[in-house]
Amino acid sequence: MDMDFTELFTFQPPTIREKPYSVSEINYGISEILQTENLFVCVEGEVSGFSKAYSGHSYFTLKDEKSKIPAVIWKDKREIPKIADGMKIIVLAEIKVYQTGGYYQLDVIRAFESGIGKSFTDLEKLKRKLADEGLFSPEKKRSLPSEIKKIGIITSKTGAALHDILKIMSEFAPNIDVMLSPAVVQGKAAAETLVKAIENINNFGKTETITEDGEILSSGADAADVIIFGRGGGSSEDLSAFNDEAVVRAVASSQIPIICAVGHEIDKSLCDFAADIYAPTPTAAAQMVCSAGFELRNSFEELEQRFKRCSKRKLSTVRDFEQVADDFSIDLRNAFKRFINQKQETVLNYERILSALNPNLPLKKGFAIIKNEDGKIVKSAKNLSIGQKIRVVFDENSAVASIYEL
């Protein structure tokens, strides 16, 4: 009698199994169990985080309002239309387990464009609305103060962004004070805490004085001179709080200049447009602060002195400089070409090695794999016994057999 193929991969409870499963065994078992089902599906969703690897394979996330799932298009799928973030598509795909990463994904076989995703259109509408109100106007943007004594940082107190900023500040500008207004930078609570953090830094150290005319004057001797606001990158879903309307308005209305450093150069967030200054990463934002003020002036003075000293050196002719530059450019171009060629050859070698090590290749040539009742591969007839049931795995299917003679 045929045995149910899924029985080969039923996980044993701790009371029966003698030793714990390894992580690889768990992922392998889940993968094998999924393969017993009909996992060819039709899915509709919005494309996010699309990228094409050097190998030619394409990776992205397919999402709706409540959930998301990774997807991959292998380079041999020639009939796939051009895909970009924000597109709404329908895909025919198989549900697979990526064992190394420990997650399941859609292996896309065909794809069809079905419109523009809702989150993309909503974001574009909000962007146009805020732009029409003047929140992104260049005239409203302020430069860094000429003298910076204190900076405020708005980010997660446990994130890498804070560590990167503090490292730069301690190394290049230890004289500048730093204060942190921590915030959640991802998830449902992020927008509210980011708005509150901006308000906290703007209100920190303020005192009010009433004049004889009844005018209220505010001063903030201990207030920050500039704010670094952001996080260390992430997917478009991770960065959604920085596209929240309340957060964008809080950034635009800040009385203290804001450097927005969300760390996502591919698609700028709305906060990037509303901030006074944009920085591609938190590290770059810290470097901007360090180069401002007296350190910037000192740097210019030092560069001026160095330039004067270099100008006094004996130079043959201007043409000599041009030739040196040309030689350097040619050497650099050739070195870059050699580097790219070496990397391409390395990748091709890896692909050839991986192809040669593909365990399914022998099956396509007519060989078969013998597995025992526990799903383990049988490497020798000595490991078999009369009457034992085995599974013979071919290229496209398998069959159950019994041992009658050894």
Q: Phi/psi at 381 (nearest 5 deg)?
A: -65, -20
Residues 149 and 98 in one domain: no
Domain of residue 287, CATH code: 3.40.50.2300
Residues 291 and 240 in one domain: yes
Residues 218 and 253 in one domain: yes
How does strand 150-154 pair with strand 226-230?
A: parallel
Whether residue 322 lies inside any domain: the answer is: no
Domain end position, chosen among 246, 266, 297: 297
Residues 267 and 394 in one domain: no
| % residues pLDDT > 90 (the chain) | 7
Residues 168 and 286 in one domain: yes
In whole angstroms, give the CA distance from residue 229 to residue 196.
12
pLDDT grade for 217, boundaries at 50, 70 and 90: very low
Other C-beta atoms within 10 Å of 222: how many? 13
Position 319 scores a pLDDT of: 57
**Number of folded domains that form the chain:** 3
Q: Does residue 208 register a pLDDT over 70?
A: no
Residues 161 and 289 in one domain: yes
> What's the order of all strands across the beta sheet hosting 177-180?
177-180, 150-154, 226-230, 258-261, 277-278
Position 294 scores a pLDDT of: 47
In whole angstroms, give the CA distance from residue 288 to residue 274.
18
Structure confidence by residue, pLDDT tens digits, 297-314? 566 667 777 776 666 665
Position 3 scores a pLDDT of: 35
Position 249 scores a pLDDT of: 92
Q: Phi/psi at 98 (nearest 5 deg)?
A: -85, 95
Of residues 118 and 73, which shows the higher confidence score? Answer: 73
Residues 88 and 229 in one domain: no
Whether residue 273 lies inside any domain: the answer is: yes
C-beta of residue 182 within 8 angstroms of C-beta of residue 157: yes
Whether residue 375 lies inside any domain: the answer is: yes
Residues 113 and 62 in one domain: yes
The average pLDDT across 129-149 equals: 86
Structure confidence by residue, pLDDT tens digits, 28-80? 888 877 777 667 888 888 888 888 888 888 899 898 888 889 999 988 887 77
Q: What length does the chain have?
A: 406
In whole angstroms, give the CA distance from residue 58 to residue 405.
51
Structure confidence by residue, pLDDT tens digits, 244-296? 889 999 999 999 999 988 876 566 788 888 899 898 888 888 888 887 544 55
Position 6 scores a pLDDT of: 41
Lowest mean pLDDT segment, chosen from 25-29, 177-181, 182-186, 314-318: 314-318
Domain of residue 14, CATH code: 2.40.50.140
Whether residue 137 lies inside any domain: the answer is: no
Domain that holds residue 389: 361-402
Alpha helix ranges (H) inside 230-292: 245-252, 270-274, 282-290
Average pLDDT score, the chain: 80
Position 226 scores a pLDDT of: 92
Position 195 scores a pLDDT of: 92
C-beta of residue 201 within 8 angstroms of C-beta of residue 225: no
In whole angstroms, give the CA distance from residue 28 to residue 30.
6
Domain end position, chosen among 254, 270, 297: 297
Whether residue 305 lies inside any domain: the answer is: no
Position 301 scores a pLDDT of: 65
Q: Does residue 168 register a pLDDT over 80?
A: yes
Whether residue 215 lies inside any domain: the answer is: yes
In whole angstroms, give the CA distance from residue 136 to residue 130.
7
Position 321 scores a pLDDT of: 63
Whether residue 339 lies inside any domain: the answer is: no
Task: Enumerate residues 6+ apart whose C-beta is below 8 A from 211.
Answer: 217
Residues 165 and 40 in one domain: no
Whether residue 15 lies inside any domain: the answer is: yes
Position 209 scores a pLDDT of: 46
Residues 114 and 174 in one domain: no
Residues 46 and 170 in one domain: no
Residues 65 and 165 in one domain: no
Domain end position, chosen among 258, 282, 297: 297
Quick one: DSSP state of residue 277?
E
